[in-house]
A and B are shown apart, each in its own frame.
With several copies, the nearest count.
Chain A
Amino acid sequence: MKKLINDPFDVVDEMFEGFISANDHIIKPVGKRSIARLESPIAGKVGIVVGGGSGHLPAFAGYVGKGMADGAAFGNIFASPPSKPVVEATVAVNGGAGVMYTYGNYQGDCINFDKAQDQCREMGIPVQSVVLNDDVLSAPKDQASKRRGIGGLFLVWHVAGAKAEQMASLDEVVAATQKANNNTRTVGVGLSSCIVPANGQPTFSLADDEMEIGLGIHGEPGVKRVKARGIDSVIDEIMESILADLDYKGSDVALLVNGLGGSPAEELYVVYRRVKQICDANKINIRFKHVGEQVTALEMAGVSVSLMRLDTELHDLITNAVVDTCMYKKL
Chain B
Amino acid sequence: MANVNGAVVAKALVHVAKKVEENKDYLCELDGEVGDGDHGVSMTIGMRAVTRAMKSLDDSVTPAEVFQAAADAYADEVGATIGPLYEAAFAAAAASAGDKGQLNEIADWADIYDAMAKSIQVLGKAERGDKTMLDSFFPAVDHIQALADKGGPLVDALSSTAKAALDAAIATRDLVAKKGRASRLGDRAIGYQDAGATSLAIVLQGFADGIAGA
Q: How far is the CA of A192 from the CA of B40 in the complex (A)?
A: 21
**Contact: B81 with A107, CB < 8 Å?**
yes
Q: How far is the CA of A77 from the CA of B34 in the complex (A)?
A: 17
Whether a CB of chain B sits under 8 angstroms from the CB of A19 is: no
**Contact: B32 with A108, CB < 8 Å?**
no
Q: Interface segment, B72-80, B152-160, B205-213?
A: B72-80
Contact of B79 among A76, A139, A148, A216 (CB under 8 A): A76
In the complex, which residues 172-224 of chain A have their Cβ closer than 8 Å to any Cβ of chain B?
193, 196, 198-204, 216, 218-221, 223
Q: How far is the CA of A9 from the CA of B78 in the complex (A)?
A: 12
Q: How far is the CA of A201 from the CA of B183 in the complex (A)?
A: 23
**Contact: B185 with A80, CB < 8 Å?**
no
Q: Interface segment, B5-13, B41-49, B109-117?
A: B41-49
B28 CB, min distance to chain A CBs, angstroms? 4
Whether a CB of chain A sits under 8 angstroms from the CB of B15 is: no
In the complex, which residues 56-107 of chain A have their Cβ closer than 8 Å to any Cβ of chain B?
75-84, 106-107
| A/B pair count, beta carbons within 8 Å | 130
Whether a CB of chain B sits under 8 angstroms from the CB of A306 is: no
**Contact: B41 with A220, CB < 8 Å?**
no
Whether a CB of chain B sits under 8 angstroms from the CB of A138 is: yes
Residue of A nearest to B80 (CB): A79
Interface residues of chain B: helix, strand, loop or mixed (majority):
helix
**Contact: A76 with B181, CB < 8 Å?**
no
**Contact: A220 with B84, CB < 8 Å?**
no
Q: Which residues of B contact A202 (CB under 8 A)?
A: 32, 37
| Interface bin, chain B | 35 or more
Q: Which residues of A contact B77 (CB under 8 A)?
A: 82
**Contact: B38 with A79, CB < 8 Å?**
yes
Q: Which residues of B contact A200 (CB under 8 A)?
A: 25
Residue of B nearest to A32 (CB): B76
Most buried by A among B37, B42, B124, B188: B37
Residue of B nearest to A54 (CB): B79
Whether a CB of chain B sits under 8 angstroms from the CB of A111 is: yes
Residue of A nearest to B183 (CB): A146
Whether A77 contacts B78 in the complex (CB less than 8 A), given A108-B83, A112-B84, comes out as no
Whether a CB of chain B sits under 8 angstroms from the CB of A53 is: yes
Whether a CB of chain A sits under 8 angstroms from the CB of B35 is: yes
In the complex, which residues 61-109 of chain B have their Cβ closer than 8 Å to any Cβ of chain A?
75-84
**Contact: B25 with A78, CB < 8 Å?**
no
Whether a CB of chain B sits under 8 angstroms from the CB of A115 is: yes
**Contact: A220 with B34, CB < 8 Å?**
yes
Q: Which residues of B contact A139 (CB under 8 A)?
A: 184
**Contact: B81 with A111, CB < 8 Å?**
yes
Residue of B nearest to A138 (CB): B184
Interface residues of chain A: helix, strand, loop or mixed (majority):
loop
Q: Which residues of B contact A83 (CB under 8 A)?
A: 75, 84
Whether A203 contacts B79 in the complex (CB less than 8 A), given A9-B45, A198-B44, comes out as no
Q: How far is the CA of A200 from the CA of B25 in the complex (A)?
A: 8
Q: Which residues of B contact A220 (CB under 8 A)?
A: 32, 34-37, 181
**Contact: A218 with B179, CB < 8 Å?**
no
**Contact: B78 with A203, CB < 8 Å?**
no
**Contact: B41 with A76, CB < 8 Å?**
yes
**Contact: B75 with A79, CB < 8 Å?**
no
Q: Which residues of A contact B32 (CB under 8 A)?
A: 193, 199, 201-204, 219-220
Residue of B nearest to A220 (CB): B36
Q: Mark A118-145, 1 if CB is under 8 A from B, else 0.
A: 0000000000000000000011000000
**Contact: B184 with A199, CB < 8 Å?**
no
Residue of A nearest to B36 (CB): A218
**Contact: B42 with A203, CB < 8 Å?**
no
B73 CB, min distance to chain A CBs, angstroms? 11
**Contact: B181 with A218, CB < 8 Å?**
yes
Whether a CB of chain A sits under 8 angstroms from the CB of B123 is: yes
**Contact: B37 with A204, CB < 8 Å?**
yes
Q: How far is the CA of A203 from the CA of B36 in the complex (A)?
A: 6
Whether A196 contacts B34 in the complex (CB less than 8 A), given A82-B79, A111-B84, A112-B84, comes out as no
A197 CB, min distance to chain B CBs, angstroms? 8
Whether a CB of chain A sits under 8 angstroms from the CB of B19 is: no
Having A82-B79, A216-B181, one finds 8 other A-B pairs with CB under 8 Å, namely A9-B44, A76-B45, A78-B37, A108-B79, A196-B41, A198-B24, A198-B44, A220-B34
5 A/B residue pairs, CB under 8 Å, sorted by A: A79-B41, A80-B81, A198-B24, A203-B36, A216-B184
Residues of A within 8 A of B (CB): 9, 53, 75-84, 106-108, 111-112, 115, 138-139, 146, 148, 193, 196, 198-204, 216, 218-221, 223
Report, nearest first, the 5 A-B pairs whose CB atoms are least far apart: A203-B37, A218-B36, A79-B80, A108-B81, A199-B28
